[in-house]
Amino acid sequence: MASPADEVVLSLNDGNSVTVHLHGATVTSWRHKGTERLFVSKQAVFDNKKAIRGGIPVVFPNFGPWDLGPQHGFARTSRWTVESKDDKPSNGAIKAVLILEDNEATRKMWNHKFKVTYTLTLKDTEFVMDFAVENKGDQAFSFTALLHTYLRVEDVTKTTVSNLKGLKYVDKVKGGDMFTEDRELVSLAENYDRVYQNTPDEHVVMDGESGRTVIVKKTNFPDTVVWNPWADKAKGMSDFGDDEYPNMICVEAGHVSSAVTLTPGDTFHGNQVLNIVQ
């Protein structure tokens, strides 16, 4: 389990809360009226070294395998700093701001000066994540980024994701080949790892078993990754229980099919909102 010194907790009345771990700025809990809406593996490692398996890890400055450093970049395994945190709610919301800036370790992998500002705002039925990357150096750089959201569900085979029909996607299970989605509502029945491109700014994720629904809204994140490792792959993951895959689905907002290029002094802004329907 995580140490309280490593966590920031945002709380509203009625059992609404968000917990974020400073290792990776990984959101490890989002509760609405006491019900946990994110999935974190019971075998997740909290050693401030390994990426935390579940919640909402931050992927930056690279999505996927990376020649310069660890898969999915260094943000999810770096120690973030709390820039500010509300002591109490104001106008029905409570907020924390976390930052990650370049340091000696990051520059050895990726020699650029940057500042990532991650603003987390909890409201009654909404959880807002504002993600900003500023180029603090004197040369342009390019990056990809993604919020790797693990949603908790009762039965992944009875869970659907909307607004993907007609879109092109890269199927990473099938060697990275490109296909076109033909289903009105996407459901999963096997190892699933698809990068949907040019996606709309809203997806409805409905858990048919529990009846719970979350709307994923996003701005300036043109890609949506849908992922579940399924049984065989789960068995090969030391930090993921063999029987846990039915209880999660990743629906991830990102800018990964093409890189963002920032000139000196410029800032990229992306946003994700998780909205409770029921």
Catalytic annotation, residues:
148, 252
Give, for 108, the enclosing helix (H) or strand (E): helix 104-109
Contacts of residue 32, Cβ cutoff 8 Å, sequence gap at least 6: 15, 16, 125, 276
Say how far residue 171 (Cα) sits from the centre of its chain. Answer: 19
Grouping H, G, I as helix, E, B as strand and the rest as coil, residue 209 is: coil
Task: Report which of 22, 252, 240, 30 is spatially closest to residue 144, judged by C-alpha positions.
Answer: 252
3-state class (DSSP) for residue 129: strand
Would you call the peptide bond into 61 cis, given omega within 30 degrees of 0 as the criterion?
yes
Cross-sheet strand order for the sheet of 35-36: 7-11, 17-21, 26-32, 35-36
- Looking only at the bridges linking them, the beta strands covering 150-152 and 141-147 are unpaired
Q: Strand (E) positions, 102-140?
A: 114-122, 126-135
**Strand runs (DSSP E) across 86-191, as ranges?**
94-101, 114-122, 126-135, 141-147, 150-152, 159-161, 168-171, 177-180
Q: What is the C-alpha separation between 147 and 129, in angstroms, rounded?
A: 9
Cβ-based neighbours of 263, under 8 Å, separated by 6 or more? 135, 140
